[in-house]
Amino acid sequence: MEVRISRDVLLNGVQRVQGIVEPKGAMPILSHLHLSAEKDAISIRATDLEVGTLGHYAANVIATGAVTLNARKIFDIVRELPNEEIHLKKEDNNWVTVKCGKSKFRLPGLPPDDFPPLLEYSEKPLLEFDGKILREMVRKTFFAISPDETRQALNGLLLESEGDSVNLVGTDGHRLAMISRPTKSNVAKGESLSFLLPKKALSELLKLMEDEDATFGFSAQDNHLAFICDKQVIVSRKIDGKFPNYRQVIPKENNLKVKASKDDLTCALKRVALLADEKSKMVRFEIRKGNLTMISDNTDLGTAVEEMPIEYEGEDVLVGLNARYVLDFLNVVEGDSVTLNLKDQNHSCLFTVADDDQYKTIVMPMRL
């Protein structure tokens, strides 16, 4: 194998696989990427056996073939090279020479035939997403995924299709985020879809969504799910398990509505959270007519109090909320204001934004 390729193109390709490779796994080859050359392009592939990615990049192919290289090391090298053409050449015993300008590196590879194949996937999309919409959907729900790996069904997002719209839902048992957006469906009329998308695949998907004008196809085959965009593919095993019935926890009688400036609430809550308990992150929200007081009280660290004006005409209400959960929501929403929809201190708090009734976040209250 021998190729010449733009430094920026190669850097883009090797950078995209860094989140998938296993730097210290039981199989050393999983810390490598697979690079193959044919016709006028190279293909870069990586996998951890659960999630895989494949990308095609334009190159001047002098001789076809394949190599494997340590993904982290080739990324570090290419990142530091000058912005000139890179010359890659395979030598005996899977060694690879990398030349660029006056720089030359000689790197050991592993047999490319030993590299695991990419998980099989269907190229026929069930759903087609506008890149801008898909990015928004993932970004506004991703934070609610549970970090607890023992609760497998909560380690990803639920994707549901209903007619011409798609729901994306995440929960960790203490909070929930859900969003609905229109999409193009290639599913038979009246048929619905439901899949659990793994967190790692979603992380890699976010990296692909730099071009908001791109279209992403979503497909499913047997136990495998894939997102396809032009010459890039992310394929993953789907999560087995039953996602909770999230519709049951969406409050319907939260009639106390507190409207606040998003920026003012974010800044004030960040300051109060500095002295919140390290584990619980609890902040006390004291809500009165026209005024919100936020308090964190920590025996070891001290007390913080913030007051801010709000639009509220109801009775006084007191509720304890995890500051990090509220900030996660505030950090992904647009617009000037947000609304806290409350019933009392014992029921969940529903966060919404104006002009978008298709996005909501629910945060469970904490015992005061």
Please give the pLDDT value at position 212: 67
Residue type for 311, please?
E
* Predicted local distance difference test score (pLDDT) of residue 241: 87
Residue 208 pLDDT level (bands cut at 50, 70, 90)? confident
Cα 48–49–53 angle (5° rounding)?
Answer: 65
Provide the whole-model pTM: 0.91
Q: Span 19-40, mean pLDDT?
A: 92
- Each residue's pLDDT tens digit, 325-350: 999 999 999 989 999 999 999 999 99
Q: What is the mean predicted confidence (pLDDT) over 41-53?
A: 95
Q: What is the mean pLDDT of residues 20-49?
A: 93
CA angle centred on 118, ends 237 and 68, rounded to 5°:
135
- Confidence category of residue 209, pLDDT binned at 50, 70, 90: confident
pLDDT > 70? residue 198: yes
What was the pLDDT predicted at 283? 97
Burial class (CB in 10 A: 0-12, 13-18, 19+), 228: buried
Q: Are strands 256-261 and 349-353 parallel, antiparallel or unpaired?
A: unpaired
Average pLDDT over residues 250-279: 95
Averaged pLDDT for residues 57-86: 97
Identical fold at 2-114 and 127-247? yes
CATH superfamily of this structure's domain 2-114: DNA Polymerase III, subunit A, domain 2 (3.10.150.10)
For domain 250-363, is the CATH number 3.10.150.10? yes
Beta-carbon contacts of residue 357 (< 8 Å; ≥ 6 apart)? none
Which residues, including other chains, have CB under 8 Å from residue 252's CB and lie 6 or more apart?
none
Please report how the helices 71-80 and 7-15 are oriented relative to each other, as an axis angle in degrees rounded to 10.
Answer: 150
The rounded distance, in Å, linking the Cα atoms of 289 and 313 is 5
Residue 144: pLDDT band with limits 50, 70, 90: very high
Instruction: Choose the weakest-confidence range: 52-61, 120-129, 185-194, 277-286.
Output: 185-194
271 burial type by CB count under 10 A (0-12 exposed, 13-18 middle, 19+ buried): middle
User: CB 174: neighbour CB atoms within 10 A?
Assistant: 14
Query: Residue holding tokens 């269907």?
Result: 122
Res 136: pLDDT = 95
Mean pLDDT value across residues 35-50 = 95
Neighbours of 72 (CB within 10 A): 16
Nearest to 67 by CA among 40, 92, 96: 96
**pLDDT value of position 22:** 86
Identify whether the C-beta of residue 283 lies closer than 8 Å to the C-beta of residue 265.
no
The closest of 76, 25, 22 to 33, measured between CA atoms, is: 22
3-state class of 267 per DSSP? Answer: helix
CB 141 within 8 A of CB 209: no
Query: What is the average pLDDT score of the chain?
Result: 94
The domains of the chain are located at: 2-114, 127-247, 250-363
Find the mean pLDDT for residues 19-34. Answer: 91
Structure tokens at 368: 């005061």
CATH classification number, 127-247, choose in 3.30.70.2740, 3.40.1190.20, 3.40.50.1400, 3.10.150.10 = 3.10.150.10
pLDDT per position as a tens digit, 88-119: 999 999 999 999 999 999 999 999 999 999 99
In the numeric block, the tokens 């976010």 are attached to 206
Residue 149 pLDDT = 82
pLDDT of residue 226: 97
HSE at residue 21, side-chain half, CA atoms within 13 A, is: 26
pLDDT score of 152: 85
pLDDT at 367: 87
Q: What angle do CA 201, 207, 211 make, to 5 degrees?
A: 125
Whether pLDDT at 211 is above 80? no
